[in-house]
Amino acid sequence: MSSSLQVEVDRFMDGLRSNNPHQPEFQQAVHEVCESVMPLVLDDERFRHAKILERMAEPDRIITFRVCWEDDRGDVHVNRAFRVQFNNSIGPYKGGLRFHPTVNKSVLKFLGFEQVFKNALTGLPMGGAKGGANFDPKGKSDREVMRFCHALMTELHRHIGEDTDIPAGDIGVGAREIGYLFGQYKRCENRFVGTMTGKGLTFGGSLVRKEATGYGTVYFAQHMLARRGDGLHGKNVVISGSGNVAIYAAEKAIELGGKVIALSDSGGFVHDADGVNAEKLAFVKELKEERRGRIREYCDRYPNAKFHAGVAPWGVPCEVALPCATQNELDADAAKTLIGNGVLAVSEGANMPSTAEAVTVFRDNRVLFGPGKAANAGGVAVSGLEQSQNSLRLAWGREEVDQRLQGIMTEIHETCVQHGQDGDHVDYVTGANRAGFVKVAEAMLSYGVM
């Protein structure tokens, strides 16, 4: 980066840090975008005069509220919930809800900020938002989760709407939670409209939404490899996480001929050198989606596999790595290990799973690196398709939704190439950040100063 560019990035980031102290995840997400788009900002007096970047880095509003609920013993609990409505320049606010003890303002602001760019990349009319609570669903009974979801929606419903803000799932929020949340929304509003996505198939959900993020992440990896005349067939694939995104990333990777040799959760990872096949994956689905068990139980069922407690799976040699668990789960040392072991492609199913230093290592070494805001956009894209179906009062077939998902992932990849190409090389980080920025910035300029 030229020194004048670096001066501008530093100046912008100094301001952002002093305005948002103690928010390391948010600062990290903004810094990456700032580096990518500063040349565009310096090149265009309209962006500079309108303070577009400053405006983009400030959420429209953050709603914070108390969620009070009773556990099965009658003890009362108090949690804190948020909805960060980041930017609705190109469509109503859209983004998931996360239930995890680590949820705080910094985490939800980074997620909401990234969502703005991701949603723009899908080509669908969706603004960016994120929400959630510092509630830990682990170890809670179904009825406790139900009471929590109902209590949360009793407040949230007044801030959302089918043309205002449409929440969905994320970590700790899956089919069960969406059912409880949507049920309470419908009751509070006395209206049945598509204000949430990821709904069950009997009440307005879309086919392929459950699979969409993981499938999309693998489609993105496939496109990156295809540009180099390569493919997934015969490649060893290491996946972190074993939740919604990881499971369906594994399913698609296996279907396309990849050999999935590792999966993880917060307790550690399983290494199955024989590969996870369809039958083993069915076991993982039942373990995680039904029984809410731990990934180490895989080794009780398949004793050839080895469990490694308390560590991430990045030391397992592979050609394709799919981080699908959480932010900053892959650091610079892990990136160097992956490269040392011959990794070709990294496609981020999770949001910001690679630390800033790890991203630098991948980019410097010209690894095919698909950043989350491009590679995991398939989930929110099919959420957008769920909204379309709800508005039309129609339900599309599986094939139709998957075809549209594939089309959108192809377009996102193409857009990243257009905006990130430098000679033969494509920097997907630059491509994704610039393409998302230009679309949202142009819309913001149209509205004047606000």
List interacting residues with ligand NDP (CB under 6 A): 169-172, 174, 213, 241-246, 265-267, 324-326, 329, 349-351, 376, 379
- Rounded CA separation 155/224 (Å): 43
Which residue lies nearest ligand 2IT, judged by its C-beta?
Answer: 96
Give yes or no for a contact between 1 and 324, defined as CB atoms under 8 angstroms apart.
Answer: no
CB of 205 to ligand NDP, least distance (A): 13
Burial (CB count <10 Å: 0-12, 13-18, 19+), residue 239: buried
In whole angstroms, how close is the CB of 291 to ligand NDP at the nearest point? 12
**Which CB, 44 or 162, lies closer to ligand 2IT?**
162
Q: What is the CA 363 to chain-centroid distance, rounded?
A: 20
**Start-to-end Cα distance in the chain:** 32
Cβ nearer to ligand NDP, comparing 35 with 386 = 386
Angstrom distance (rounded) from CA 137 to CA 224: 36
197 binds ligand 2IT (CB under 6 A): yes
Tokens of 78: 């108090």
**Site for ligand 2IT, residues 322 to 351, rule: CB under 6 A:** 351
Q: What ranges make up the beta strands (E) of 209-367?
A: 236-240, 259-265, 268-271, 306-309, 320-323, 345-347
- Those residues whose C-beta lies under 8 Å from the C-beta of residue 176, and which sit 6 or more positions away, are 142, 145
Residue 94 near which of ligand 2IT, ligand NDP, none (CB within 5-8 Å, type-dependent)? ligand 2IT
**Minimum CB separation from ligand NDP for residue 248, in Å?**
9
CB-count exposure of residue 155 (10 Å: 0-12, 13-18, 19+): middle
Site stretch for ligand 2IT (CB under 6 A), options 151-159, 259-267, 376-384, 397-405: 376-384
State which residue, 57 or 250, has the beta carbon closest to ligand NDP.
250
Which partner, ligand 2IT, ligand NDP, none, binds residue 197 by CB below 5 to 8 Å per kind? ligand 2IT
Q: Does 288 bind ligand 2IT (CB under 6 A)?
A: no
- The interface region with ligand 2IT, picked from 90-98, 309-317, 338-346, 407-415 by CB under 6 A, is 90-98
Q: Indicate whether 33 belongs to the interface with ligand 2IT (CB under 6 A).
A: no
Residue 379 binds ligand 2IT (CB under 6 A):
yes
| Per CB under 6 A, 195 contacts ligand 2IT | no
In the list 96, 137, 313, 323, the residue contacting ligand 2IT (rule: CB under 6 A) is: 96
The partner in contact with residue 427, picked from ligand 2IT, ligand NDP, none with C-beta cut-offs of 5 to 8 angstroms by kind, is none
Q: Interface with ligand 2IT includes 259 (CB under 6 A)?
A: no
**130 classed as catalytic:** yes
Q: Give me the long-range contacts of 226-233 (CB less than 8 A, separation at least 24).
A: 227/417, 227/426, 228/344, 228/368, 230/344, 231/256, 231/257, 232/256, 232/257, 232/258, 232/320, 233/257, 233/258
DSSP annotation of 429: H
Collapse the DSSP code of 108 into the 3-class scheme (helix H, G, I; strand E, B; otherwise coil) and give the result. Answer: helix
What letters, b where the CB count within 10 A reaches 16 and e where it falls short, cover 320-334? bbbbbbbbbbbbbeb
What is the rounded CA–CA span in Å between residue 80 and residue 355? 27
The catalytic residue among 130, 259, 280, 373 is 130
Residue with tokens 């679309």: 439
Residues 6+ apart with CB under 8 A from 58: none
**Is 166 exposed, middle or buried, given 0-12, 13-18 or 19+ CB atoms closer than 10 A?**
buried
Binding range to ligand 2IT, per CB under 6 A, among 94-102, 147-155, 294-302, 421-429:
94-102
Nearest CB to ligand NDP, comparing residues 154 and 266 = 266
**Near ligand 2IT by CB under 6 A: residue from 106, 122, 222, 383:** 383
Q: Max Cα separation, the chain?
A: 64
Which of 321, 352, 380, 435 is close enough to bind ligand 2IT by CB under 6 A? 380
Partner touching 224 among ligand NDP, ligand 2IT, none, CB below 5 to 8 Å by kind: none
> What would the x/- binding string for ligand 2IT be over residues 161 to 180, using CB under 6 A?
-------x-x----------
Q: Is the dihedral of CA 404, 406, 412, 417 positive or negative?
A: negative
Residues classed as catalytic: 130
Residues that bind ligand 2IT (CB under 6 A): 94-96, 118, 168, 170, 197, 351, 379-380, 383
